[in-house]
């Protein structure tokens, strides 16, 4: 089970709620994935044009899945803190996915402001899950600020590129062995989710890869299976890769054997 801030969850998959073709498709996708949490931006929840108003909020409640509000679109510490505090009132939860964007093109997190905002929110009683890069030093600063889990990206949001900097992510996993790390952003295929889980990451957060798929519910199910398979493979202690072939069939007792005359 996934454990975050001393709370356990039955799934290691988190699912976003943006950009689905319809509320019904969103509902089907959540049911198919059975995620640990579903993320929603406060700004979307307040926009009747995008979310169908009260009906959207009722849909989220009907799923029975815990809601993880996020501060999507925020570009300053004050904006992120204020949005988080408003989200706590609206969604009645002290959980927050902290997004603080520093570049409009890549939607890359501003790690400097992110640390400052995280400290303010943690001091205010929030359980902060910061969306960050794979930079080890920035991640350490977030842990120093009081974060108990991190959400490094695999690639820029919505690109579906999969893991761009695999070496850096593997180093991050190795150097922070006791910190829950959830891959957030950039995955496009279930195989990519399985890969990061095999590397030892604790979970995966998805949105675009599911919501923009031709069949979102089927893709949600595929990702849920991939995350579970990747975790099981990690726990099974896989064999180490080697460059030289090694026979898996024993040669002793074979009826025929090569000889000098043959």
Provide the CA 127 distance to its chain's centre, in angstroms.
16
Task: Report the C-alpha gap between 258 and 92 in whole angstroms.
Answer: 74
Neighbours of 228 (CB within 10 A): 16
Residues belonging to the binding site for 1-deoxy-D-xylulose 5-phosphate are 158, 185-186, 207-208
Contact assessment for residue 84 and residue 108, using Cβ atoms and an 8 Å cutoff? no
Closest to 169 in 3D by CA, of 157, 185, 158: 185
pLDDT digits (tens, 9 = 90+) for 53-67: 567 878 888 889 999
Task: Report the C-alpha gap between 26 and 87 in whole angstroms.
Answer: 21
| Helices (H) then strands (E): counts for the chain | 11, 10
Task: Report the C-alpha gap between 205 and 109 in whole angstroms.
Answer: 16
Closest to 183 in 3D by CA, of 162, 205, 200: 205
pLDDT digits (tens, 9 = 90+) for 200-258: 999 999 999 999 999 999 999 999 999 999 999 999 988 888 888 877 776 666 665 55
Residue 175's Cβ-side half-sphere holds a number of Cα atoms within 13 Å equal to: 14
CATH code: domain 2-235 is: 3.20.20.70
Q: Which residues are catalytic?
A: 97
What does the pLDDT average to over 34-57?
70
pLDDT digits (tens, 9 = 90+) for 10-28: 999 999 999 899 999 999 9
Residues belonging to the binding site are 158, 185-186, 207-208
Given pLDDT bands bounded at 50, 70 and 90, which one contains residue 50?
A: very low
| Residue 255, pLDDT score | 63
Q: Domain locations in the chain?
A: 2-235
134-138 contact pairs (CB < 8 A, 24+): 134/165, 134/168, 134/169, 134/172, 135/111, 135/168, 136/168, 136/171, 136/172, 136/175, 136/176, 138/111, 138/114
């Amino acid at each position: 089970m996934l454990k975050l801030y001393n709370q356990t969850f039955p799934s290691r998959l988190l699912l976003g709620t943006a950009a689905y073709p319809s509320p019904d498709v969103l509902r089907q996708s959540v049911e198919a994935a059975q995620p640990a949490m579903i993320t929603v931006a406060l700004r979307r929840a307040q926009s009747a044009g995008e979310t169908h108003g009260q009906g959207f909020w009722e849909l989220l409640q009907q799923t029975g899945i815990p809601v993880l509000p996020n501060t999507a679109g925020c570009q300053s510490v004050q904006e992120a803190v204020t949005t988080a505090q408003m989200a706590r009132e609206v969604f009645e939860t002290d959980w927050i996915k902290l997004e603080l964007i520093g570049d409009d093109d890549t939607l890359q997190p501003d790690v400097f402001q992110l640390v400052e905002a995280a400290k303010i929110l943690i001091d205010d009683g929030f359980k902060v899950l910061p969306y960050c890069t794979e930079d080890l030093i920035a991640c350490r600063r977030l842990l120093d600020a009081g974060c108990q889990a991190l959400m490094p990206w695999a690639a820029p949001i919505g690109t579906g590129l999969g893991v761009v900097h695999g070496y850096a992510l593997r180093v991050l996993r190795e150097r922070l062995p006791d910190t829950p790390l959830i891959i957030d952003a950039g995955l496009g295929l279930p195989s990519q989710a399985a890969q990061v889980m095999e590397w030892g990451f604790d979970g995966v957060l998805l949105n675009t890869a599911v919501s923009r798929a031709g069949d979102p519910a089927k893709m949600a199910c595929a990702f849920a299976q991939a995350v579970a398979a990747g975790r099981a493979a990690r726990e099974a202690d896989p064999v180490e890769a080697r460059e030289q072939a090694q026979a898996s069939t024993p040669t002793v007792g074979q009826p025929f054997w090569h000889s000098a005359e043959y």
